[in-house]
Structure 1
């Protein structure tokens, strides 16, 4: 295959920039970096600015590393440096008004040059990364596929992912996240997707969105990047935002709208094509369910993951893949081989039972989904929950809702960490007592991980001696709660 590279003239064209030193001659580059520590002779370095950083301060370091091209927004920073540099040592330097916007412009221009079959954009309050990863595994069976790495799903991460596209890529799966209005609009107008999917909406990042309606409207921004005549908008029919999204799609003139949903007798908008899932149950630490696409026979699926929400994710993936022209056998093979994503309800056998590592992040709906998965397992259940962040004025109510849900579904012990989570421990016991179900359950609140781990160790020793059933443990919390420390402790101390 021919070696891929860009030229500085293509960059100037894409970002409408000004080359400050055209006398250095033509330059090419094959990689893009926003990190001054990751630069070589084939790199375009983009000097980004943020609230707490300004990469223009590192231009000398980048030039010393041999960068081919600089993209900057501060003329004086280059002028102060260039007087000390012979022409032969200078990179090509392109000046723009705003390097963040220029990064987006370059990514959009590059995406348009790539002969992709389909670019799929994924958003939602929960399940984005799992759905993205599952889509990547499905589409990899049909052709070379690029997917968002990790959580590079914001205004810096999405452009950088698009710039990783190469001419032999056939599909791209792009995750889009947001914590404020307008962010998804910005991202989808860069990526220009062929298919969009909204996995779900819930009370996440409410500090930035203000309300659930704010979340619904922001997630709906994703369809603004579709071409009306050829784009496909896929929605979760079980979400409260469905009416709003359908009206928005009609206003934008989007001709292809499809749904996925749990099977039910009475369905909204029956004329729209849909994929449904049903009969979800857990057996041998795996979920089994029925999946049915429009005008196709239902098929049985077994996935080596936990949680009914993963059946929902599978239905979303199936609808996306069918809309892109993939065949059901390709889809089913990928679904049944999928083992999940680290930190998202990953199961590990430890000496007392199963450890469910769902520590990557949390909001009330995702915590309740994790608790439901824990409760579905045979044996005793211990939930170790960290405080949920970015809930704004809904924080107290959200933590109460989770504690009461844990009591309702029969969790045996609730151990919580973090200031906002402290009231959950007594609420859990009060809810059990109010329902007449208080019978040996335990709860406790901690301000240090070490104290939680010590209490958990004593509890496990007691229960393993007294009870003859597996003891399964869920660990979950927002990133700021650092609940992975509990996972690491359990994995080291109680490995299977």
Structure 2
């Protein structure tokens, strides 16, 4: 009979082999492999391969795969989360938890850039912000790390509270609370309640919040908790205003009686709040003004998030195809409509996970576009197709839109390309 390895025993091994891997394609000599399960795979079946490739140990939860240097636990995912919890308890550093409906990854990257100019920082890689990604990020924190930044995502109630129990943030920031994942949250009230779990944790643990003072909902939810306010009002600890956003955002930062102009490489006025949040956190950690300015000016967004791309057909594409929900779609359209460019074209993909409110929300976006002046509107996906009417070209699948654009190429346009990740709007880029 095989006995289970305890979390504390695992931690002693982790201290000797402080690298955790969950993908055999990324095995490094001496690491510990965790055999996690997915919808279409069982990590236990890769344990032997992980050891062959050089892993010191493989953590499994199926005794059928037991061999030399495997460690049997009741549940590999729970063991990973417990291990992260133990590691976090031994860390005596500030940890910033960031969540929100829109902008959390961009804000996290901006904060990482600002803090990284002055400190040794460990931050969530990409958007590994779930019940697996958060423990992995915690476990990547080393003795030389001075500040950690943990992005927290959720699509069901209770998820932020659960991630807080693992990460134990000492500082917290909610970018905004909008309409997204309504299906999983059971409506907008569920979104508010879940995002607020970060504020509640910080309040209970006597931490501090960074709050957008212009956001009435966030001000209400954070009332009574120690907070650093940022936004446009001069009385806030960090006060900024938009100078230009056509297409790149420029902002004025009012600091110590003088005004610093920051020229960002961020497209859209909707990135103003993300940039000011990063300035606020830099302020809080007493990073010199010039370092904060240089860091934000040097940051270039990637991964299909608000990127400005010039194509070989002389089109300028605002590429924002990583994700979409009613809040971010609305903001993107308002910003795009305000640009001074000619020949504006909008290519939008469905917004996913909106449940019973899906058709109404897609119709609201179409109605909004009807109040704006665009040369061409192209909609992709079954939800948009149901409400498109005669005002726009609509296609069921992205491949259909690609075929149409291949046959009728567009040149010399300024184009907004946006949609939910699952629609794969980036496939359209090659035709532009």
Query: What TM-score results when the alignment is normalised by the length of structure 2?
Result: 0.89
Contact kept in structure 1, 2:211 and 2:219, CA below 8 Å: no
Deviates more, 1:121-130 or 1:325-334: 325-334
Q: 1:196 to 1:178 in 2, by over 3 A?
A: same
| 1:368 partnered with 2:296 | no
Paired residue for 1:126?
102
| 1:422 match: secondary structure | helix
Once the 2 structures are TM-superposed, how far is the Cα of residue 123 of structure 1 from its aligned partner? 0.7
Which segments of 5 or more consecutive residues in structure 2 lack a partner in the other structure? none
Q: State which of 286, 289, 292 in structure 1 corresponds to 2:251.
A: 289
Q: Any gaps of 5 or more consecutive residues in structure 1? A: 1-10, 83-89, 265-269, 430-442, 465-469, 491-496
The answer (yes or no) to whether the contact 2:402–2:427 under 8 Å persists in 1 is no
Does residue 100 of structure 1 match 2:56?
no
Deviation track 1:132-156 (CA, whole Å, cap 9, x = no partner) reads 1111111111122222111111000
Whether 1:221 and 2:221 are equivalent positions in the alignment is: no
C-alpha distance in 2 between matches for 1:18 and 1:290: 50
Match of 1:49 in 2: 37
Q: Find the partner of 1:197 among 167, 170, 173.
A: 173
1:47 shift after superposition: 2.1
Q: Which residue of 2 aligns with 1:167?
A: 143
Cα displacement (A) at 1:481: 0.7
Q: Does 1:390 align with 2:360?
A: no
Cα displacement (A) at 1:240: 5.3
Using the size of structure 1 for normalisation, the TM-score is: 0.78
Correspondence for 1:261 among 219, 223, 231:
231
Does residue 1:112 correspond to 2:100, yes or no?
A: no
1:144 corresponding residue in structure 2: 120
What per-residue deviation string (whole Å, max 9, x for no partner) do you get for residues 461-494 of structure 1?
5xx5xxxxx520111111111101002332xxxx
Relative to structure 1, the CA distance from residue 34 to residue 279 in structure 2 (aligned partners, 3 Å threshold; closer, same or farther) is closer
Q: 1:379 aligns with which of 342, 352, 361?
A: 342
Q: Distance in 2 between matches of 1:95 and 1:387?
A: 44
- Determine the C-alpha separation between the residues in 1 that align with 2:322 and 2:297: 23
Aligned ranges 1:77-96 → 2 under 5 Å: 77-78=64-65, 81-82=66-67, 90-91=68-69, 93-96=70-73
1:477 is matched with which residue?
419
Q: Distance in 2 between matches of 1:240 and 1:155?
A: 30
Q: 1:310 aligns with which of 271, 274, 291?
A: 271
Q: CA deviation at 1:325?
A: 2.8
Aligned with 1:304: secondary structure? Answer: strand
Question: Is the 1:280–1:311 contact (alpha carbons within 8 Å) kept by the matching residues of 2?
Answer: no
Deviation for aligned residue 1:130: 0.7
Q: Which runs of 4+ in 1 moved over 6 A?
A: none
8 Å contact from structure 1 (residues 124, 201) kept in 2:
yes
Q: Which residue, 298, 302, 310 being the options, matches 1:341? A: 302
Structure 2 residue aligned with 1:434: none
**How large is the RMSD of aligned CA atoms in angstroms?**
2.9
- 1:206 matched to 2:168? The reply is no
The number of residues matched between the two structures is 427
